[in-house]
Structure 1
Amino acid sequence: MGNKRQFRIWRGDETGGDLQDYTVEVNEGEVVLDVIHRLQATDAPDLACRWNCKAGKCGSCSMEINGKPRLSCMTRMSTFEEAETVTVTPLRTFPVIRDLVTDVSFNYEKAREMPAFAPPADVAPGDYRMQQVDVERSQEFRKCIECFLCQTVCHVIRDHEENKQAFAGPRFFIRAAELDMHPLDAKTDRKDHAQAEQGLGFCNITKCCTEVCPEHIKITDNGIIPMKERVVDRRYDPLVWLGSKIFRRGDTPQSTASSAGKESAVHSGARQAGVHSHAGGSHDPLAEVQAQQGVNWHREVPHPTAPAVDATGRLPLTELTFDRAAAPSPFGDDVTFPLPPEHLNFAHPSQDEKH
């Protein structure tokens, strides 16, 4: 037999409503969503609540529990004191439809405004090549389940309804960062779009979005701050400005290794001019040094690196056993994951876990 616990749940619709008190049975191991389902089966059959998977992966059951945006299916009752009244309210930032269900269409409108991934026109889908380091950098943002907890907690629109038209929110800032960090994305104005159209400048990095993320994505440290840094570089760095005046668009050198790649194409197996040096696979010390020094955050779309095959079309033994990536990464070839927590531009998702 479970214990009786006190709940206070907001009931109403777009015209208004108020908090109503309920006394409900709570059993060991249950989550808030379990209690809401029991209320629907007993005292409040007309209580509206959105949910789907009950496993913390669909993001449907977002609501505010004791004032903090959470997933009700992942909030265990054991986290509250037995004498504590659990208050459940709808997401504050979005219009109420009924009871705990809100209209989150704002987020889908912002999603439609986001420019889609643009693959390089001169590379066939089967020929895409990415380094694992590049995959890991953007893979974190792919964990987003679109629960929109980060959106509802962001004070830029939580407290200022008038900002919604000009502000996309943290969920779409990390989408922009993910695409901007993607080495095969051919769209070159992600940073300008984030600043001019998505309202990136409104964010003052309070990290409240990171605190509520159920997937523990480092939204601020890994996505928003790097995007802000690149916007500043693009707009205010005098060297970047001078380079944009000297080189025509599309002619900006990607790295000093590009020219070396042309000379050592026979070693790297490169099939097109101007590819990055096959640092490590080419066995050219000068090309490797140039590759590590030639990192350029503002590079145009990098071409995929062809594998260093021999005359028979097979990878040589040295390539298979080499302990470095086959091409230069934005971090440099001497960096291994996970990166240290004190790194200014990257905070590993698991750094806060206690071991």
Structure 2
Amino acid sequence: MGAKRQFKVWRGDETGGDLQDYQVEVNEGEVVLDVIHRLQATEAPDLACRWNCKAGKCGSCSMEINGMPRLGCMTRMSSFEENETVTVTPLRAFPVIRDLVTDVSFNYEKARQTPSFAPPAGVAPGEYRMQQVDVERSQEFRKCIECFLCQNTCHVVRDHEENKKAFAGPRFFIRAAELDMHPLDAREDRKEYAQASMGMGYCNITKCCTEVCPEHIKITDNAIIPMKERVVDRRYDPLVWLGRKIFRRDQIEAGTPGVDAVSKEHEVGQGVNWHREVPQPQTAAVGDDGRLPISEITFDKAGGPSPFGDDLTFPLPPRA
């Protein structure tokens, strides 16, 4: 016969609810999910709780235990003091359906929005070949069981419901990082997409997502921070910025000496419109005080529209 332990379990639905007290028998070696099942079998047969494998691999039994997002099947009762009251509540970042069950469809919507793996051109399935080091590099991120504890604990959506539209969350940042590392992925804009469309800039790397991950994925250190660094390298590196300002400025007009017809045709094919009228900058490069405006330094484009078009990145491809 196990000892009786004090529990507080949230009961309610989308209209509201509260914590209810229960005295539940706890046996040696049991986890919180065992206690929830015993509670359903004895005192609260209508208690709603989502679960499946009870082995820490399906991610279904996500809940908050004493305020910490955890898996019910992986939280042992022995980790609490014998006289400690164990409080079990639903995931706070998502709408409650009933009791401990929440609506996590937000995550599936973000999954559909995330661009999938793009196979390389000219390579059929079954012919993909990669180095083992590349396999191991991204294998960590493939351990995700989609428990969404990282999504739940991220304060960007946990405390600000209005951010959900623009913010994908750490679970999908590691997906973007995995594909960005993939040597066979044909998309080359993973980091830019994560910054522009997934809201990676909202993340201020508090590492709370890493702390709650049951698979011990180093979400912040191995995925988010490197992705942020690669975005900065592409957009804000001072040498890259300087290159955008001065690179090939002497060759932007059509008919520039040294640009023959063959190379011009090749470059037009790469997206450069050499016959386009060069637009004038909208603001002076230097202010009345003789200094460069701060907006000119921090903005990632020149003062006027680029004569090369917004779809071209530097450096230009080598001439044919």
1:169 equivalenced with 2:163 (yes/no): no
What is the alpha-carbon distance in structure 2 between the residues aligned to residue 160 and residue 73 of structure 1? 29
1:68 equivalenced with 2:68 (yes/no): yes
What is the alpha-carbon distance in structure 2 between the residues aligned to residue 133 and residue 218 of structure 1? 18
What is the alpha-carbon distance in structure 2 between the residues aligned to residue 104 and residue 136 of structure 1? 30
Residues 83-121 of structure 1, C-alpha deviations (whole Å, 9 max, x = no match): 000000000000000000000000000000000100111
Distance 1:249 1:61, change over 3 A: farther
Q: CA deviation at 1:243?
A: 8.1
Instruction: For 1:7-156, list aligned pairs within 5 A.
Output: 7-156=7-156
Counterpart amino acid of 1:71?
L
What is the alpha-carbon distance in structure 2 between the residues aligned to residue 34 and residue 114 of structure 1? 36
In structure 2, the residue corresponding to 1:107 is in which secondary structure? helix
**Unpaired stretches in structure 2, ≥5 consecutive residues:** 249-265, 271-313, 316-320
Q: CA deviation at 1:126?
A: 2.9
What is the alpha-carbon distance in structure 2 between the residues aligned to residue 138 and residue 11 of structure 1? 40
**For the aligned residues, what is the CA RMSD?**
2.1
What is the alpha-carbon distance in structure 2 between the residues aligned to residue 186 and residue 243 of structure 1? 25
Q: CA deviation at 1:132?
A: 1.1
Q: More deviation in 117-126 or 133-142?
A: 117-126
Q: CA deviation at 1:240?
A: 4.2
What is the alpha-carbon distance in structure 2 between the residues aligned to residue 33 and residue 147 of structure 1? 15
What is the alpha-carbon distance in structure 2 between the residues aligned to residue 250 and residue 49 of structure 1? 58
Counterpart amino acid of 1:70?
R
What is the alpha-carbon distance in structure 1 between the residues aligned to residue 143 and residue 59 of structure 2? 12
Distance 1:149 1:4, change over 3 A: same
Q: CA deviation at 1:239?
A: 4.1
Counterpart amino acid of 1:228?
K
What is the alpha-carbon distance in structure 2 between the residues aligned to residue 80 and residue 249 of structure 1? 68
Q: CA deviation at 1:237?
A: 1.9
In structure 1, the residue corresponding to 2:81 is in which secondary structure? coil
What is the alpha-carbon distance in structure 2 between the residues aligned to residue 140 and residue 64 of structure 1? 25
Distance 1:167 1:250, change over 3 A: farther
Identity %: 85
4+ residue runs over 3 A deviation = 238-251
Distance 1:249 1:197, change over 3 A: farther
Q: CA deviation at 1:125?
A: 2.5
Q: Max radius of gyration: which structure?
A: 2
Distance 1:124 1:249, change over 3 A: farther
What is the aligned partner in structure 1 of residue 303 from structure 2? none
Q: How many pairs were matched up? A: 253
What is the alpha-carbon distance in structure 2 between the residues aligned to residue 188 and residue 48 of structure 1? 44
TM-score, normalisation: structure 2: 0.76
**Unpaired stretches in structure 1, ≥5 consecutive residues:** 252-297, 300-355
Instruction: For 1:281-296, list aligned pairs within 5 A.
Output: none
What is the alpha-carbon distance in structure 1 between the residues aligned to residue 269 and residue 64 of structure 2? 48
Distance 1:249 1:81, change over 3 A: farther
Residues 212-265 of structure 1, C-alpha deviations (whole Å, 9 max, x = no match): 0000000000000000001101111244453896797998xxxxxxxxxxxxxx
TM-score, normalisation: structure 1: 0.68
